Structure 1
Amino acid sequence: MRDAGYYRGLVDAAMRPYQWIVCADAAAGFTAGIRRWREQGFPRPLVLAGTPGTGDLPTAEECELVMLGTSGDTMMGGIRAFHDALRSLPPEVVARIEAWDPGGEARVLASFLDNTLSIAGRHSWGARPVEWLELEDKTRADSIWEAAAVDHAPTMVVPATAAELVNAAHALGGDAGTVWAGDNREGWHGGAEYTRYVADPDQAAETIEFMAGHCDRVRVMPFLEGVPCSIHGMVFPDSVAAFRPVEMVVFRVPGSDRFRYGSVATSWDPPDEVREEMRAAARRVGTHLRHRVGFRGVFTMDGVATADGWLPTELNPRFGAGLGPVARAADLPLLGLSRLLIAGETAGLDAVEIEEIAVAAADATRHLGGMTVVDRPVAATETVRVHWDGTAVHPVADGEGNAMLERGPAASGGAVRFVLDPEHVVPGTLGATVVAAAFATADATWDTGIGPLIPAVAH
């Protein structure tokens, strides 16, 4: 069997001949990738960044960095502001692009969250077509589950009015309450920003006001007790690769309708039968997407592992953050491979081989960490060592401890990031429990304003 190095070579061979305009909402998140490019002999790229982000920035020798200075009140607000800015660049930025690429031959590497676009007359490569966006509307997910024969919880999709929402919540909700998810009237959304927990629909005025102000229709479903987790598939012309389950580190906020998104972890394992149920569902959904819209590349199915099995909640027709730790574990360029598939450059790609490499590596090398955005501004990145003792996370002296805790700038103000050293990750550990303790330490250390959190509990 060919190894990950073979697939790195395929992606490098497809990309190395070109100059690249890299669209980076947070520049620091792309530093490692840009440094690898330069080590591999890639031309010096131009990076269009929304914000500096948290972490080290690439140097002037490594790239031409153009900071657009975008911001937003929330994570989605920051992402949307960045995508909008890319489509209306000021003349001085266009002039820098023309000076860097006078021949106009560069290609655009769009964010995996974005769609196809052109920048100063240069076109994107391997970006998802805008036509796939409708698949991400959370009010339309049931039609996909039903077409692909995937079991799911009962739902109702209703107009965003008080009477309709309250009636639907009473019809579907039990003691655990309901979850409301808005449509895509304002564009696609993630990070649980348009997804709200409603314990009592008769006391949900704030949630109703939000939904009515931002959505036309809302999906109402029972709150599912269990572990939020996702499964990723990769669609090829004649097959679908399915990877391993990934925990979504998502918390409820006490006394609020909000969820707090805290990124992803691969330390936890669902029961074997649930794991295979999730992977089989991904294969069926991927096959349906290929037939329905000619889909290629990576997609994500989010859901909850309950006591009665895994139930999906939404489909994201794009690369998901949960594949990041899987790709790193395997040293396999899954995002690059997804771009090759979207671009139709499939020579040398083997779905079975890619799946086997990725799943084996991700099972062997686990990731336990979290990241969340905060609205309190952070001017510069600050990193400290901490120790997870099985119950709490404690600050320690430099060079000690078993984990890293960091805060830094973000489009919405700031970001907090935690990573447990890989050699200290115990397979089977529920990531949300550890990340909640780390975020509590961030609050105590830096007054980040995250506040109390309710982590998921495995059944």
Structure 2
Amino acid sequence: MKDVVMALDLADDTTRDAVTARLAARYAGRPVLLGPGILAGCTGLVERFVALGCRVLVLSTGDGAGPVPPDGSCTVVEVDLPPTASMTEEVRVLDRTVRTLPSHLVDAIEAFDPQRRGLWHTSPFVTDDEPVLGRPVTGGRPASYLALEDKMLADDLWAAAGVEHAPYRICPVERAELAAATRTLATTRGVVWSGDARDGLNGGGNFVRWVRDTDDEAAAFAFFAPRCDRVRVVGFLDGVPCSIHGFVVPGAGTAVFRPVELAILRDEARRRFVYGGLSTWWDPPAADREAMRAAARRVGDHLAAHHDYRGAFGIDGVLTHDGFRPTELNTRASAGVSTIASVDPAFFSFLQAALVSGVETGLSAADLESLLPLMDAHRHGRPSAVGQGVPVGGTHSYPISYDGARLTRSEQPTGSDLVAADTPIGFFAKIDPCTLLEPGDRLAPLNAALLAHLDAAYDTGFGDLQAAPDLR
């Protein structure tokens, strides 16, 4: 009779802390290089690595919104990114930036780590196939994983994994074929065109266009013609934008977690989508939750079997009147993964780095899924805004109140603060901490109120934005 192996209870703090310490051990006492990225985004990482006895150097592209690492906790080296006008352009240059650093930055890194004992711990937009300046990369991902995010590949993957998806057509960037596909697939709200990754990864909705009439077609065609070879056309999916996430554990299955709401707002007049924050406060119906989890498990198992995949992934989609329909695959620790990982960011950060690097974790999918009750008990989410090409004039932070429709600045502490700061592409704003939601609440209406407040306070130009309807 075979021995029954019991799953670890990672919802237990003591158990999880012990596993985190084991996963983090390979960093202990070694120099660590972080970035390139916004300094405020590195604050938690600096704290974790300092606690492991690491000296830390951060390649900073700007301070960003929120607290930065305390003075003396790390070495900060400023790196200038080329001018960019969108999130897509910004992430595309990160890998190239670390591999073509100017000599004065290389000198600073070599002086910081003269024995080359250090590790780069960076974002998934930096590939880990080759070392950087002779130092291994962790926290990134192989170029083969990045390539899987091309939206032209997603529908074949859904079919191979047995996941129900909306009808679609992939067209060359030719006006007549795109118009014909649009007429065939249009719903009452039109269609959505999504561009390929010919020139590199695209995200943040930058290569997505909402098409309802011939004027929309002309504008979308003018955008895609110089940037893409192919465009995917799919009927507009009405319902709650959301995502589901998992971790592929080599030889031990796919762990899947809980749904995350995506605050993707609609601009009816300008036919565009505006991306906001993410949240686990929202709860879809129980049957839909389990259907989404089953879809993620099938996709994770397919990625493992056919693409030698390891680590985190996410499926974005829409919970329509007919159920969940996937729209794109994120083969990385995406913002949605970070949202569910808020129950213990250190654990998930070291887990993801270990899995992608091929380090044996000693964990199974069942072990990881023991965290589900903790994720359901400790909700997380906050509205956010990315302004592209528009600054807010420095850094701002103040208490904010919400009456269910509008956000207003408060002169007294409210438990929720609006934080905004200029970035290389424009600005970033968020409500952090956010104490304005209860279990079951949608984030999207609150995110719409945030963007309306930013328009009124800083003339950011988001315009009239609406939350998608809940049809279930």
TM range (shorter): over 0.9
What TM-score do the two structures reach when normalised by structure 1? 0.95
**Code of the aligned partner of 1:105:** R
Match of 1:172 in 2: 185
Match of 2:133 in 1: 120
Root-mean-square deviation (Å): 1.7
Can you list the C-alpha shifts for 1:275-327, whole angstroms capped at 9, x where unaligned? 00010011111010001110000011110001110000011111110122322
How do 1:42-121 residues align onto structure 2 when only pairs under 5 Å count? 42-70=53-81, 71-116=83-128, 117-121=130-134
Q: Distance in 1 between matches of 2:216 and 2:353?
A: 46
**Code of the aligned partner of 2:202:** H
* Residue 106 (structure 1) shift: 0.9
Q: Distance in 1 between matches of 2:91 and 2:412?
A: 34
* Contact kept in structure 2, 1:234 and 1:286, CA below 8 Å: yes
Three-state SS of the structure 2 residue aligned to 1:455 is coil
% same residue: 36
* Residue 269 (structure 1) shift: 1.0
Three-state SS of the structure 1 residue aligned to 2:341 is helix
Aligned pair in 2 of structure 1 residues 331, 99: CA closer, same or farther (>3 Å)? closer
**Code of the aligned partner of 1:264:** L
**Code of the aligned partner of 2:124:** F
* Residue 448 (structure 1) shift: 2.5
Three-state SS of the structure 1 residue aligned to 2:247 is strand
- Within the candidate set 198, 202, 219, 2:232 is matched to 219
Match of 2:282 in 1: 268
* Contact kept in structure 2, 1:55 and 1:381, CA below 8 Å: no
* Residue 203 (structure 1) shift: 4.1
1:352 maps onto 2:391 in alignment = no
How do 1:107-256 residues align onto structure 2 when only pairs under 5 Å count? 107-116=119-128, 117-201=130-214, 203-238=216-251, 239-256=253-270
Match of 1:367 in 2: 380
**Code of the aligned partner of 2:404:** G
What TM-score do the two structures reach when normalised by structure 2? 0.92
* Residue 451 (structure 1) shift: 2.1
Q: Distance in 2 between matches of 1:107 and 1:249?
A: 35
Aligned pair in 2 of structure 1 residues 257, 7: CA closer, same or farther (>3 Å)? farther
Q: Distance in 1 between matches of 2:369 and 2:149?
A: 24
Moved more, 277-286 or 383-392: 383-392
Q: Distance in 2 between matches of 1:140 and 1:398?
A: 51
Aligned pair in 2 of structure 1 residues 414, 331: CA closer, same or farther (>3 Å)? closer
Three-state SS of the structure 1 residue aligned to 2:335 is coil
* Contact kept in structure 2, 1:330 and 1:361, CA below 8 Å: no
Aligned pair in 2 of structure 1 residues 392, 126: CA closer, same or farther (>3 Å)? closer
Q: List alignment gaps of at least 5 residues for structure 1.
A: none
Can you list the C-alpha shifts for 1:102-150, whole angstroms capped at 9, x where unaligned? 1112111121233215322222135311122221110111111011000
Q: Distance in 2 between matches of 1:368 and 1:379?
A: 26
Three-state SS of the structure 2 residue aligned to 1:185 is coil
1:299 maps onto 2:313 in alignment = yes
* Residue 328 (structure 1) shift: 1.7
* Contact kept in structure 2, 1:265 and 1:431, CA below 8 Å: yes
Moved more, 192-201 or 218-227: 192-201
Can you list the C-alpha shifts for 1:189-248, whole angstroms capped at 9, x where unaligned? 111110111112454211111111110000000000001101111001120000100011
Q: Distance in 2 between matches of 1:35 and 1:332?
A: 10
Q: Distance in 1 between matches of 2:267 and 2:344?
A: 34
* Contact kept in structure 1, 2:315 and 2:327, CA below 8 Å: yes
Moved more, 125-134 or 270-279: 125-134
* Residue 252 (structure 1) shift: 1.7
Q: Distance in 2 between matches of 1:268 and 1:286?
A: 24
- Within the candidate set 297, 307, 311, 2:325 is matched to 311
Q: Distance in 2 between matches of 1:31 and 1:159?
A: 44
* Residue 9 (structure 1) shift: 1.4
* Contact kept in structure 1, 2:354 and 2:361, CA below 8 Å: no
Moved more, 135-144 or 375-384: 375-384
**Code of the aligned partner of 2:149:** E
Three-state SS of the structure 2 residue aligned to 1:228 is strand
Q: Distance in 2 between matches of 1:420 and 1:272?
A: 28
Paired positions, count? 455
Match of 1:383 in 2: 397
Q: Distance in 2 between matches of 1:23 and 1:306?
A: 38
Moved more, 177-186 or 78-87: 78-87
Aligned pair in 2 of structure 1 residues 419, 426: CA closer, same or farther (>3 Å)? same
**Code of the aligned partner of 2:320:** T
Q: Distance in 2 between matches of 1:158 and 1:330?
A: 43
**Code of the aligned partner of 1:301:** I
Q: Distance in 1 between matches of 2:35 and 2:275?
A: 23
* Contact kept in structure 2, 1:178 and 1:197, CA below 8 Å: yes
* Residue 31 (structure 1) shift: 1.1
Three-state SS of the structure 2 residue aligned to 1:314 is strand
1:450 maps onto 2:457 in alignment = no
Q: Distance in 1 between matches of 2:237 and 2:278?
A: 19
Q: Distance in 1 between matches of 2:193 and 2:90?
A: 23
Q: Distance in 2 between matches of 1:194 and 1:364?
A: 36
Q: Distance in 2 between matches of 1:112 and 1:235?
A: 16
- Within the candidate set 442, 445, 457, 1:433 is matched to 445
Can you list the C-alpha shifts for 1:410-438, whole angstroms capped at 9, x where unaligned? 1212112124634x421111100111112
**Code of the aligned partner of 1:148:** A
Q: Distance in 2 between matches of 1:146 and 1:324?
A: 27
Moved more, 28-37 or 222-231: 28-37
**Code of the aligned partner of 2:426:** G
Three-state SS of the structure 2 residue aligned to 1:8 is helix
* Residue 32 (structure 1) shift: 2.5
Three-state SS of the structure 2 residue aligned to 1:456 is coil
* Contact kept in structure 2, 1:330 and 1:362, CA below 8 Å: no
Three-state SS of the structure 2 residue aligned to 1:122 is coil
Q: Distance in 2 between matches of 1:297 and 1:23?
A: 20
Match of 2:52 in 1: 41
Match of 1:326 in 2: 340
